[in-house]
Structure 1
């Protein structure tokens, strides 16, 4: 792979678009993402810890902005090293940093309410639908090809994110936000469809999940071709691509932020003692050379160690990228940067404590139970609405004229029915609607359709 192609500033579905003076593509990408409604909704979506009374617990927006900051640092440090080695043209380090920053900002834009348990809940609901219908029932599942079932049974926020930025936003024009090819490539941790991931016989880090629905595959292929990402076409499978090198930096920025900052949140809400958190952070930073300031509280010390740990983790990720540069550029690197970095052992311990203490915390467990019930209730109600639309021949005006209750329901939630013409597009419209909800809005809609709100 070649950086001249990999940093391509041309735009999806608009490759002839000319950047304005002093407004490079990566800055425009950042601004389009930042000012979009789906990004704004991240402020009311759970990160890991449930939305809490404490102001300093992370939600998806804060996590995304912090990840973009770390990503910018990773990009500029790697870029400067590559310029010094003559492997990147001078000045392009700023393009690299800006591209990683924009891709990090958008990396969670497709995540549903209630954190990763929301993804699991949507997938579980569709799995039940497919089991109940098995191709013969009356639900939407009956009309969805077997090849497309995995898109819903294993609902994936990464693929939903690509759908948002490439199709749903900016008045649903061709290319959606029309982000640059470079940003889209850096964003795509899993450059494959669900079918390709399921069929793959080659072990590869980019095939662990899927990053595009079949409906957006052609859009991603446009970007991948422009970027020169190596394309794989298995004889008996579906095509997929090797990762863009900057996707490894985006992944590392995400890993650094959620592993380290989840710990700080755990101390804030009382799931972990601050002294335990301080000890875990010292695994990354090493013990400070001087005694702590006697005026510094334990919370202050935790904050200081968190900052030091992030800086140390950034340095280790940069070193890991440079150490594995040739394999990354060849598309053969098959791991995460933090997993092969000098901080791999410390990060493995962070993962263990998260699994044992944070992800099983009482309040998080309660949220997952409530969230599943909330999403199932909403999916049931609006699934029935889409079945009514199907009975009207997918004619929205006819449904609005013939079904007063569902006409009111559509107006009440401003349900977007553009492009719905069959069971497959209806199922995606259903997941667009539900996954786009904030935690609080999901609760509000659940209450409304359950008759618990009278206003």
Structure 2
């Protein structure tokens, strides 16, 4: 289908899309109306705004699994997001979807993560329990709709409805048709925004968002193995006992007998990603053939996720995740570092909440007489935006002793 008149015939990424894909020419638009670009589709503009944001740059110094300053070769939230985006584009291309939208959702999906990975999120969630808790997905929405301040006319990045839908619902609907939360209460930030710009929380997201969601799993599974091997916390012999990496390692050994461990690890990563991506493509195509959606609305109303692993791959992927939880994420060395990181986040929250004057002036403005709920959320916004390195620097400024995270 042809794009908008101002884009037709000038080669700005307008390729034929399937009926089930999101069409940028039919985007539901932005909360704040803006003139269209003569050279970029709405989803391309979203992608570009995300990449140029402050929040995107901060991902460079936010932990994936290992504390960022432990080594230059370990993944950070930034490198992870780039890897997810590459896989999401590959999936979207194979399924004749909009690659730019899939990429945008992939690049923005981790904006709300705290310093020190899930450790920081868990600590901040407990500290914020009296005021609605903390959820990194809801925080991502706050970042792109309120906390980024780059434009004269509005707060946030003013992303399209489709990108925000993907950000909020890439892992599935949040409510049932009656508005009841499917996995507990829906975070207030999401409900407040949806009241202004209805994200249809009970419906499934687009195929592009689903591509980004499963690309996140594929990237995690492969690259956490890679980082775990690099750190020496897991070994190829251990992985040989796990179904998916085990069968790959056997194929590598048969093809390249005597290959050194480093190259063997890289072969494992490359082949594992390829197997998972090809499995998702085959499974999603079969799901689409069965459903025969005539529009993206049919995808949203399908009642299930369409971009999935096959049953066999899903079982292998779960076994791999179980292995990683037992042997990497809960490794004694990782747990010890997480315990110290937890302390840093909790002590920073308590210090800022007790005396907002310890925060920069732009963050403490107006908090002198603010109620506790507002003060706590402002502290959480400030803390969540920190990089690992800045959090440690702030802790060292406020406390006599800051733990070593190594």
CA distance 1:342–1:20, shift in 2 (3 Å): farther
Give the superposition deviation at 1:261: 1.0
What is residue 445 of structure 1 aligned with on the other side?
A: 394
CA distance 1:358–1:209, shift in 2 (3 Å): farther
The reply to whether residue 214 of structure 1 matches residue 188 of structure 2 is yes
Distance 1:341 1:358 in 2: 25
What is residue 253 of structure 1 aligned with on the other side?
A: 215
The question of whether the paired residues in 1 share the 8 Å contact of 2:21 and 2:208 is answered with: no
Distance 1:5 1:346 in 2: 31
Give the superposition deviation at 1:287: 4.7
CA distance 1:319–1:435, shift in 2 (3 Å): same
Residue 95 of structure 2 aligns to a residue in which SS? helix
The one of 127, 133, 138 equivalent to 1:159 is 138
What is residue 374 of structure 1 aligned with on the other side?
A: 344
After superposition, give the CA deviation of every residue in 1:208-252 in whole Å (9 maximum; x if it has no partner).
367x74345353455546xxx5x6xxxxxxxx4433333321110
Gap runs ≥5 in structure 2: 1-18
What is residue 176 of structure 1 aligned with on the other side?
A: 156
Distance 1:74 1:34 in 2: 20
Give the superposition deviation at 1:289: 7.7
What is residue 111 of structure 1 aligned with on the other side?
A: 113
Q: TM-score if structure 2 supplies the norm length?
A: 0.80
The one of 160, 185, 190 equivalent to 2:165 is 185
Gap runs ≥5 in structure 1: 80-92, 131-148, 232-239, 387-405
Give the superposition deviation at 1:10: 5.5
Give the superposition deviation at 1:73: 0.5
What is residue 355 of structure 2 aligned with on the other side?
A: 385
CA distance 1:357–1:369, shift in 2 (3 Å): same
The question of whether the paired residues in 2 share the 8 Å contact of 1:278 and 1:305 is answered with: no
CA distance 1:178–1:285, shift in 2 (3 Å): farther
Q: TM-score if structure 1 supplies the norm length?
A: 0.72
The question of whether the paired residues in 1 share the 8 Å contact of 2:89 and 2:102 is answered with: yes
Residue 415 of structure 1 aligns to a residue in which SS? helix
Residue 324 of structure 1 aligns to a residue in which SS? helix
The question of whether the paired residues in 1 share the 8 Å contact of 2:204 and 2:301 is answered with: yes
Distance 1:32 1:285 in 2: 39
The question of whether the paired residues in 2 share the 8 Å contact of 1:266 and 1:272 is answered with: yes
The reply to whether residue 64 of structure 1 matches residue 81 of structure 2 is yes
The question of whether the paired residues in 1 share the 8 Å contact of 2:61 and 2:388 is answered with: yes
The reply to whether residue 309 of structure 1 matches residue 272 of structure 2 is yes
The reply to whether residue 263 of structure 1 matches residue 263 of structure 2 is no
Q: CA RMSD in A?
A: 3.2
The reply to whether residue 324 of structure 1 matches residue 287 of structure 2 is yes
What is residue 6 of structure 2 aligned with on the other side?
A: none
After superposition, give the CA deviation of every residue in 1:363-392 in whole Å (9 maximum; x if it has no partner).
311222111111111111111124xxxxxx
CA distance 1:200–1:11, shift in 2 (3 Å): closer
The reply to whether residue 15 of structure 1 matches residue 33 of structure 2 is yes
The one of 361, 367, 391 equivalent to 2:331 is 361
The question of whether the paired residues in 1 share the 8 Å contact of 2:203 and 2:300 is answered with: no
Distance 1:262 1:41 in 2: 21
After superposition, give the CA deviation of every residue in 1:127-177 in whole Å (9 maximum; x if it has no partner).
4xx4xxxxxxxxxxxxxxxxxx4x31xx21010001101111134753510
- Tell me which moved more, 362-371 or 251-260: 362-371
- Tell me which moved more, 29-38 or 330-339: 330-339
Distance 1:314 1:48 in 2: 23
Distance 1:119 1:299 in 2: 33
The question of whether the paired residues in 2 share the 8 Å contact of 1:224 and 1:241 is answered with: no
Distance 1:366 1:422 in 2: 36
Distance 1:450 1:116 in 2: 23
CA distance 1:184–1:284, shift in 2 (3 Å): farther
Distance 1:160 1:301 in 2: 39
Distance 1:28 1:279 in 2: 45
Distance 2:308 2:246 in 1: 14
Give the superposition deviation at 1:359: 1.1
The question of whether the paired residues in 2 share the 8 Å contact of 1:110 and 1:161 is answered with: yes
